[in-house]
Each structure stands twice: as C-alpha cells, then as structure tokens.
Amino acid sequence: MTPSPDRVRLHVVTGKGGSGKTTVATALAMALARDGRTVLLVEVEERQGLAQTLDTPPLGPVERRVADGPGGAALWALSVEARASLLEYLQQFYRLGRAGSVLEKVGAIDFATTIAPGVRDVLLIGKVFEATRRTSGRPHPKGTPEHYDAIVLDAPPTGRITRFLSVNEQVADLAKAGPIHSQAGAITTLLHSDQTRVHVVTLLEEMPVQETVDAVAELREAGLPVGAVVVNQARAALLDEPDEVALLALADGTIDVPAVADAVGSVGIDDPQRVAGSLLDTARGYRDRLDLEAAQYDLLEQLGLPLVLLPLLPDGIDGGALAELADLLAEELDPEPDEDAGQLDLPENGLAR
Amino acid sequence: MSRTPTTLDLPALVTDPATRIVVCCGSGGVGKTTTAAALAVHAAEAGRSVVVLTIDPARRLAQSLGVGELDNTPRTVPGVGAGGGRLDAMMLDMKRTFDDVVHAHADPQRAAQIIANPFYQSVSSSFAGTQEYMAMEKLGQLRAEADRTGRWDLIVVDTPPSRSALDFLDAPKRLGSFLDGRFVRLLAAPAKVGGRASVKALAGGVAVATKVLDKLLGAQLLRDVQTFVAALDTMFGGFRERADATYALLSEPGTAFLVVAAPERDALREARYFVERLAHDQMPLAGLVLNRVAQPGPIGVDRALGAALQLTDGEESGAAERAAAAALRLQASVGALAARHRAALRGFAAAHPGVPVAVVAAAPTDVHDLEGLRQILR
Ligand SMILES: Nc1ncnc2c1ncn2[C@@H]1O[C@H](COP(=O)(O)OP(=O)(O)OP(=O)(O)O)[C@@H](O)[C@H]1O
Ligand SMILES: Nc1ncnc2c1ncn2[C@@H]1O[C@H](COP(=O)(O)OP(=O)(O)OP(=O)(O)O)[C@@H](O)[C@H]1O
Ligand SMILES: [Mg+2]
Ligand SMILES: [Mg+2]
C-alpha cells in the first residue's frame, strides 16, 4: 500500500485548554501510522504531555520511535525545545561549535529563546518544518527516519494558535533580517499550503464552542487552512429513544408528578412523593442539557466544517482508549466506500485530504 | 485509616474576616472562574466588600457580572449587596495593566517611548507568562487600593489555566529574571555603568554573542531591547522586586489558595501536583474544590434499575410508568458516575489526607448568571 503523496502532511491540533488536544493529536498520529506509514508526533510546550499520554519516558529534542503500527508502520515522537533548536541553527548557519558555548556562558541563548515569542515560535515550528521537508537522500539526524508520511503537531491552545502560526507577522516587526526572518517566510508558505490542516478540538459546552468559533474565524482571517472540528468527550446518549421521549414528557409537564409518584409507589419505593420530585428534577436537568448541547452543536455546524465526534471514555485515557479513539479517527480518514459512506464522506478539506 | 477527607466549608472561608485574598487555581476548564465568581457573590451577599478579578470569563458570565466590556477597572455588579455588602468585578486586560505599570513609573514622554518600542509591544501582549504576571500585578494593585481606601475587604482572584506548572507563581520571576538576566544586563550595561571590571571580563563574549544574535535576528532587535531595558531600568526598582512583593503577598496568612479540580482520576492527579507545589512554596492552601461532582439520586443504583424494570414490565404500562422508569434509569447512570467521582476523591484523599475538600455539585447546564452562581454554594 503506497501512501498517496497528495495527502495532508502536517496536521496541527489546537483547542481550548484541557479539551483533549494532546489526546486527539496522539490518537490521530496513531490513526495515520497505519499501512506502513511513518508518522511524527510533536509537542512544543515542553510539558511532556505526549510522553504522559503515551506512557513512555520523557521525550527529548531528537525524535524517538514510540510505537509500531500495522504493516511496518511507525510512530515517532519528539518534544521540540527552543534552546536545542537555536543551538542547531547556530551550528547549521555559523558552524558555531565552540562559540555556542560562549553564547551560553553570557546568557545569550536563554536571552534569544525567551526574548520574543515570535522568535521562539519560529524556532519551534522550524523543527516541524524541517521534518515535513525531509525526503530520502537529504541529511537528517542519525538514526531517524529519512521521510515522514505525516506529522501531527500538538499545538498551543485556541487562544494562542493564530499568533503561533503567524510566525511571519510576528517576526516581521522584530527580526527584520537574518536567517530567522527568512525561515519564517518558508514556514508561512507551508502553513498556508494544501499540505497543512489545522484541526480544532472542542467540547460540547458553551465556552469551548465559543472559543472554537472565534478561533476558526481568526484562522480563516489569517488564511490558515482549517481542517475538522473534533467534538471530544461527547457523552454517549444515556437513554434510548423511547425513554428519552417519556422523560421529556415529564420535563415538559405533559405527565404530572402525582402520576409518577403513584407509579413509583406501586413498585414499593419509599417516600414516592419525594422520589417523584427528584425524578422531575432529573428530567428537567436532562432536557436542559440536551437543549444546550443541541444549541452548541448548531453553532459548530454553522462553521461549515466536518465535525468528528469522539466519545468520553469513562475510564480515562490509557493505551486501549487511545487505540479506540485512533480507530474512530481512522474511519474518518479512510471512509469505507460502502452504502453507508454518505455519512462518513468528508468535504474537501476534512481530516483526510 | 479513614479515607474521608475533612470538609472545606467554602461559605465560612469567604465570610471569615481574616480571609483577605482568595486565589482559585487549577487546570484548564475546571471551573476556576465560575468558582471565583460564586465565592465573591456569596461573600458580598454576606455583607463583605468584595472585588473579583476574572481572567477571560465566558462571555455570558462576563455580561451577568457587568464586565462584558473589557476595561480593566472594577465595576459594581448590580443586584448583589442586599446584605449590606458589595461586589465589584473586573476582567483582566494584560496589555493595559502593563501599560499602566509603565505610566505609573515614568514621565509621560518616557512612557510613550517605552510603549512604542516594538520589543515592549511583543512582551506586553504575548510573552509566555505575561498574563499570569499581570494578574499578579493587578492583585498587588487591588490590594494596595484596598489598604489605602478601605474599598474592599476581600479580593478574589481567578488565574489563567495551567496544568503542569503554577505559572502564576513562576511567571513574575521568569519575566523578572529575564529582564534582570545577565545578557540583558550586559547589553544594557555600556549605556549605563561603563567599565566595571566584571563587565569588562565578559565583554569579549558579549561582543561575540551580540554579533551572532545580530546576524541571526537582525540588528534592530537587539537595539530595541537595549533601549527598552535601559528605559525600564531607570524607573523600576527592578522587576524582581515587584515580583518578590507579590509573592510575599501571596504567602501571607490572610491568603487562601483553592485548587479547583474536576472529579476524574487524571484531573485529580494534576490537582495533586498543584497541592504539592503550593506546599513546597509554603503557600497557604485552604483546600481542594472538587467541581461538577455528579449527585446520586435518592435511591441506590441497583434499586433504581430494578424498579425501572418492574415499571415497564407489564404490557400495559402507561406514560407515567414509562417516564418514571426512564428517569430512574437516568438517575442510575448518574449514580454510577457519582460512585466513580467518589472513588477518584478517595484516591486524592489517600494521597493528601490533610487537605480539606469542598464538593460542588454539577449543575445540569453552564453557569452564567447570578442565580446560577448562588446555587453553586448551596
Ligand atoms: N475522549 C476522552 N475520554 C475521556 N477522557 C479524555 C478524553 N479526551 C481527553 N480526556 C482526558 O481529559 C484530560 C485532558 O486531555 P488532554 O491532556 O489531551 O487535553 P489538552 O487539551 O492537551 O490539555 P492542555 O490544554 O492542558 O494541554 C486528560 O486527563 C485526558 O486523559
Ligand atoms: N458546578 C458546575 N456545574 C455546571 N457547570 C459548571 C460548573 N462549574 C463550571 N461550570 C461550567 O464549566 C465551564 C468552565 O468553567 P470556567 O470557565 O469557570 O472554568 P475555568 O477553569 O475558569 O476555565 P479556563 O481554564 O478556560 O479559564 C463553564 O461553561 C461553566 O459554566
Ligand atoms: Mg496538552
Ligand atoms: Mg477561567
């Protein structure tokens, strides 16, 4: 199975803090690492979120193979560090073997990596950029793949994503010349190209949805290609349909509480009045929650982007849970061409292509 | 050994006159802003004069607090204060707070110069940690105003989301140490101190470093930094001192830290990190707020499921029976969730038996008005 070359190479995963960016990025990378493909998963905030999620020792600035997939597929992961990238730069542009340590000594490395977020971001994305450019035969760090079929970036949250990806504008006012400046230009070209998709992870709640809507508008404004909206931690329907209809009738007052009290009394439950009152509260709460989720879902649909639903897994995230989410994402990536395919068919700029 | 944690009485905490500052911290989306607002409303309605500093509140919550417009000044919240107290609310504008700091310490001309500096603009709007730093700066300002005018006797602060670090404790230091950093000092030095011996010794290295960075980043950047630091330096007693003052304020006994967390295992693991970090820094931790905890119904899970089954057993079960059965099944699944939440809490309590815990029930929908905030502490 040869991977088709026109696929998206770079998947950027953003979302509100705590919505599940790291989890979704990891599951997406696992979903992409099938059929013999080699995938790189990258984090940029030096928080070891990937290592925790993958339950593997801390990641460093050089990629490490963290998982194997079917058909010889491989997942590599890396935690980009601004300092390491800067030293790499200096090495590359100035062959600064020893001068590097002079810079370190006077505090210039710390200075340059913290001085301006724009510069830092160029250093961070620069590393991702390098990975997308890898082709067979070109130099690459020893012992690492010479080519990646896809790269997944566990990116900063929605509030910072557009700025993070707008490296060009960021450095334009600061670094007016030099390699950082020109690197920013090349990165911008990649980020605005067809090879990149920015996916937004959200929860079906007011704030995350608001942030998602805002972020999508900002990303579009900045000309960055938005991919899918991933609705994460979606609660499974707690009731089947007939139950739901009956419950809503109670919530709306079509069925009155005394009748419910009689019913629960008839099966021997103590204090039926009080229990019936609590059942009414439960029914109303459920209705309100459904209304809220429906309203939020509407807002997301209005974005005109593919929506991908991932369930809330009751026992949290471990290896099995990641595999389960990866399977769901893989389905979105490669919709089976059967009768039901209509449902899974993604618009042009979905997760897949 | 009992695994039941001591109860943290939130209403008592915020109505106690000895409590002067409450800081709500925790991971993203756990309910820091909501908790801060609810505590502030409660204290104000109990008669205290309160100001709440929110960070990026949900739009509708901001509107109900009357801070829909971001203007960086506390505004009195209408509809709170029947009990003789008062609630002022504000939403942090970090850039504006930074600008205010500059204006407060420099003559107008110099302030204008600094504010126009591209490097300043970058730092004040997006330096990693600026938001945290400005939140703490604002807290210092509010406290100074409270001491001066007696306008408030309780300040409730929200913090930006942070997971693997207590960024608001670290950010002031980080920014401070950056501006006090060796290289920055050395860069700024020629303009000020001239030829101190220690500076001279490093001058060679600095010259090399400056040349390389100039090439890498463009010469303008270092010049901007130089002017920025020089301008700043003459008027501040150093960023570090300000940061230290805020830090000292936080460790005072009148301060109460609350770690807000969701009742899931992973989230509580993060909460443990916060608790440990606060202890390490000897910050006064009041306890854990376990937010959005599922509440079990009046009857047990098995009994509810059994009753539901009985109710829909007969062919001729009517609408009321079906509705009761559905609601019982729903209560049973919420009950199962509640059991999981309790188990997660027991895990936390086993690791930190000394930390009091307040359990806050999950409201069915988002909390965005005063009534919803009042409900939270009931
Ligand atoms: N589908 C899911 N089902 C159950 N738990 C989930 C799911 N997705 C994420 N989680 C849990 O939610 C929490 C937040 O997830 P994650 O760390 O991926 O979010 P994040 O957006 O990367 O957070 P941060 O903003 O801190 O980087 C974690 O504890 C994770 O295990
Ligand atoms: N007890 C509760 N019951 C139901 N919903 C709640 C509760 N507490 C908070 N929420 C809802 O959860 C969402 C997140 O709450 P909030 O904004 O307070 O979190 P936060 O920790 O401040 O988030 P951030 O890290 O983004 O600042 C809001 O929509 C809020 O209405
Ligand atoms: Mg993360
Ligand atoms: Mg908040």
Domain ranges of chain A: 10-235+312-333, 241-289
**Does the beta carbon of A190 lie inside 6 Å of ligand 1?**
no
Say how many CA atoms lie within 13 Å of A268 toward its Cβ: 5
State chain A's mean pLDDT as an integer.
Answer: 85
Nearest Cα residue to B154 out of B139, B136, B134:
B139
* A17:B27 CB<8 A: yes
Residue scoring higher pLDDT (B191 or A271): A271
Mean pLDDT over B320-327 rounds to 94
The per-residue pLDDT for A50 is 95
Instruction: Of A338-342, B90-94, B235-239, B312-316, give the lowest mean pLDDT range.
Output: A338-342
> pLDDT at residue A213 above 60?
yes
Distance CA B39, CA B85 (A): 13
Percent of chain B with pLDDT over 90: 47
**For domain A10-235+312-333, which CATH number applies: 3.40.190.10, 3.10.20.340, 3.60.15.10, 3.40.50.300?**
3.40.50.300
Tokens in use for A196?
């990149």
* A159:B365 CB<8 A: no
pLDDT level of residue A345 (50, 70, 90 thresholds): very low
pLDDT level of residue B137 (50, 70, 90 thresholds): confident
Span B65-121, pLDDT tens digits: 887 776 789 999 998 977 789 999 999 998 898 898 888 778 898 889 889 887 788
Mutate to test the interface with B, among A110, A269, A274 (most CBs of B within 10 A): A269
Distance CA A129, CA A133 (A): 6
Distance CA A114, CA A86 (A): 11
Span B2-12, pLDDT tens digits: 567 899 999 99
* Burial of B324 from C-beta contacts in 10 A (0-12 / 13-18 / 19+): buried
All domains of chain B, ordered by start, with CATH? Answer: 10-168+238-296+352-377 (3.40.50.300), 181-236 (no CATH), 301-340 (no CATH)
Distance CA B259, CA B271 (A): 7
- The minimum CA-CA distance between B79 and chain A, rounded to whole Å, is 24
Distance CA B112, CA A42 (A): 41
Atom number in ligand 2 closest to CA B26:
21
- Using CA coordinates, name the residue in chain A closest to B228: A115
What CA dihedral angle connects B110, B113, B115 and B118, to 10 degrees? -150
Dihedral sign for Cα atoms in the order B290, B293, B297, B301: negative
Q: B30: which DSSP letter?
A: S
The per-residue pLDDT for B368 is 86
Distance CA B256, CA B243 (A): 19
Residue scoring higher pLDDT (B134 or A307): A307
Span A264-286, pLDDT tens digits: 999 999 999 999 999 999 999 99
**Does the beta carbon of B37 lie inside 6 Å of ligand 2?**
no
Percent of chain A with pLDDT over 70: 88
The per-residue pLDDT for B239 is 62
Tokens in use for A101?
């340590």
Nearby residues for ligand 3 (ion, Cβ within 5 Å): A 21-22, 49
The per-residue pLDDT for A95 is 66
Distance CA A259, CA A145 (A): 69
Mean pLDDT over B207-213 rounds to 79
3-state helix, strand, coil in chain A (%, to 5): 50, 15, 35
Q: B234 and B314 in contact (C-beta within 8 Å)?
A: no
State chain B's mean pLDDT as an integer.
Answer: 85
> pLDDT at residue A123 above 60?
yes
Residue A338 phi, psi (nearest 5): -110, -170
Mutate to test the interface with B, among A46, A48, A115, A318 (most CBs of B within 10 A): A115
The partner residue sitting opposite A317, judged by closest CB among B215, B218, B266, is: B266
